[in-house]
A and B are shown apart, each in its own frame.
Chain A
Amino acid sequence: MWERIWEIVRKELRQTLREPRMRALLIGPPLIQLIIFGYAVNLDVENSAIAWMDQDLTPASRELRARFTASRYFQVVEEPASDLEAQQALDHGRARAVVRVLPGFARDVARGRTAPVQILLDGTNSNTAAIVGGQASAIVNRYSAELLRGRMREKLVAAPGPITFAIPTINVRSRVWFNPELKSRVYFVPGIIVNIIMLVTVMLTAMAIVREKEIGTMEQLMVTPIRPFELIAGKTLPFAGVGLMNMLMITVAALLVFNVPFRGSALALLVSTILFLMTTLGAGLFISTISQTQQQAMLSSFFFFQPAFMLNGFAFPIRNMPEPVQWLTCLNPARYFMEIVRGVFLKGTGFTILWPQMAALAALGVTILLLAALRFHKRLD
């Protein structure tokens, strides 16, 4: 039996690796995703271009501007003289925000009234806009707090009774765990393992079987003494190997090129990868049973991949999704594997904490694989 399985494995590997373009496909997608998510996708917002509209032109307003330019979050790219110019800066997308200091700013500050500073945000990208708005408000608030402290001191000195500088304040200290520099790269790169394994193995498995159906060599295989189980094993094992190789490749790149920490156990990662491969190979097998042509197989795997990719928490936190969709993600194997991969890489968690995710993967894997194998069996008879 092992001999027959091995024969199929060998044939399958040879068929996949024979064509140079197919070989490129095994390396290409992981490489592209690594480059894009390692270097290009950056949700950290720094150096935002802003337009500075100073209608007051006093030392106080210049001081505020210095606060903005001294922070690493902002750079002033233009100084609109009129509302129209400010609007154009936003319309053309030259600036992410316009900060407007209204006339009478310094006078109001000096007289103890509240002087507003207008911050106009380009909200088209709501995520960036929220961060930029927060950064700008923080700078203004800090400036305001400093002024306030000075003024309080003056008042206290002037107040009757014993002089005391005791002003209650709270001191907020933050500590960031796992990713102290808050780099998106550290978060994204390990997750690529999940996407690549899913992308490559589902499709390769489905295509390997459907191709034979389309050309008619499936019948030829059927008349050989090979049994359905052996055929399934022979058709899926090579791609499991491909998946493991991809995992290894991305892990090495993550550690060496992107300096992503690896804090957990390699064994936990390996075991989970094998569990996850069961689900993706099962899905590929299943798609092959419902497709007659390669085109159908590809469209079906696209339909499988899209939701599995979007609902796995890779780029979009599951926590933010509406409740029914959150329930739906429980059926998505990639979701569990994503949690495992990030736990192992960044948090250093192992079997003791991640066992529920692994159990879920195993359950899903066995179910999908069994379903697919049964369907496959029936088709062959």
Chain B
Amino acid sequence: MISFRRTRAVARKEFLHILRDRRSLIAALAMPLLLLMLFGYALTLDVDRIPTCVYDQDGGPASRDLIGRFRGSRYFDVRALAGSRAVIERAIDRNEVLLGVVIAPDFSKRLAAGQEAGVQLLVDGSDSNTASIALNYAEALALAWSGELRSKAMNRRGGGELKPPVEPRVRVWYNSELKSRNFIVPGLIAVILMIIAALLTSLTIAREWESGTMEQLLSTPVRPVELLFGKLSAHFALGMLDMAIALSAGIGIFHVPMRGNVLMLFAASAIFLFGGLCWGVFLSAVARSQLLAYQMAVVTTFLPAFLLSGFVFAIENMPWVVQLVTYIVPARYFVTILKGIFLKGVGLHVFWPEVLFLVVYAVALFVIAAKKLRQKVA
């Protein structure tokens, strides 16, 4: 039978441990804030104000009009007018501009004569993501301008006004302003919980193995399961506190929409955190050294939660082998739940499979961790 008294004693000791180690405590509380600030303020994948350099070989009214369009768009920041192609090349080499627009010499003349005129876009493709977005924007801008020109010419010719036959109307759901902050901040909760759970826990408990106090604890009448619960409860409280900090900062400072049920959010976090903590204990028991436990925790929890959870990098874009791997990453399920609650405002009827997986995962890790501790006792 699990004794509540013994569990509580271990938990009390663990709480004291955490409270006394000021530096680790501050680190544990500052970590979510640091990550939130970094991700919320500094990191955005949104592409706008693309530094652009224009080489206008024409200098006629039409080319000036087109350049004016680039200047007027919020997606482009026309930094300079180059005098030659070489200037653009050098500017791209030095990372000063990303996009070069070269307008052919007879641009205005050809357009006035109703002929085809050329515009060349030179783009620094090294950052493929930014480059393809920049190209999309530039091409769309040029095409729209060209369309206007065409209908103006038609009107002059008395052909009557022509409207575009088909028009795309794009509506964005869940994140209508398309802010990357809105999906990064909720996903960050998964990363923060993983850091607290596996990193911090494996470190503190590995230290006990290293200094031998774990053996002393195991030789007392306290049983492995009680020890596990006691150890976990203190770190569990710390993790939930971090979660609350992240949640309130996300809503209060970053104005991330919270459309779903807060209780649901806490429940899902608790399950995820519990599993992570059990994994931390297991790692520390296997590694028994702080350095190793830390490294193993980084590789098995932090990196997958960061890279393979769909938190920043979309899983759908990965090759199918890697997509298969993501199915065993618990953070993947948790991130899906987080985005569902925060942005989509959906409930259990949509993400019950994810919750079910998290429950199974937490229970399995608890059993594994308890077994490992029992092994060490025997």
Contact = CB atoms under 8 A, between A and B. Distances in A.
A367 interface: no
B128 A321 contact: no
Contact of A114 (B124, B153, B165, B207): B165
Contacts of A316: 42-45
B287 to A, nearest CB: 8
Interface in A11-61: 21-22, 25, 28-29, 32, 36, 39-46, 48-49
Chain A interface bracket (under 10, 10 to 19, 20 to 34, 35 or more): 35 or more
| Most central of A156, A293, A349 by chain B CB within 10 Å | A293
A156 B43 contact: no
Contacts of A40: 307-308, 313, 318-319, 322
A178 B124 contact: yes
Given A112-B162, A167-B150, A175-B122, A123 B130 contact: no
B173 A177 contact: no
Contacts of A244: none
B344 interface: yes
B154 A295 contact: no
Nearest to B351: A92
A34 to B, nearest CB: 12
A168 B150 CA distance: 6
Interface string A178-197: 11101110110000000000
Interface of B: 23-24, 27, 31, 34-35, 38-39, 41-49, 51, 66, 92-95, 98, 110-133, 135-140, 142-143, 145-147, 149-150, 153-154, 157-160, 162-176, 178-180, 182-183, 199, 203-204, 207, 290-292, 294-295, 298-299, 303, 307-308, 310, 312-314, 316-319, 321-322, 336, 339-340, 343-344, 346, 350
Given A152-B154, A179-B126, A172 B163 contact: no
B303 A32 contact: yes
A140 to B, nearest CB: 4
Contact of A129 (B154, B164, B178): B178
Nearest to A97: B170
Nearest to B302: A302
B26 to A, nearest CB: 10
A46 to B, nearest CB: 8
A182 B125 contact: yes
A347 interface: yes
Contacts of A302: 199
A91 interface: yes
B364 to A, nearest CB: 24
B168 A147 contact: no
Nearest to B92: A177
A328 B212 CA distance: 44
Interface stretch (A1-9, A278-286, A303-311, A358-366): A303-311
Contact of B24 (A48, A93, A295): A295
Given A178-B125, A321-B43, A130 B133 contact: yes
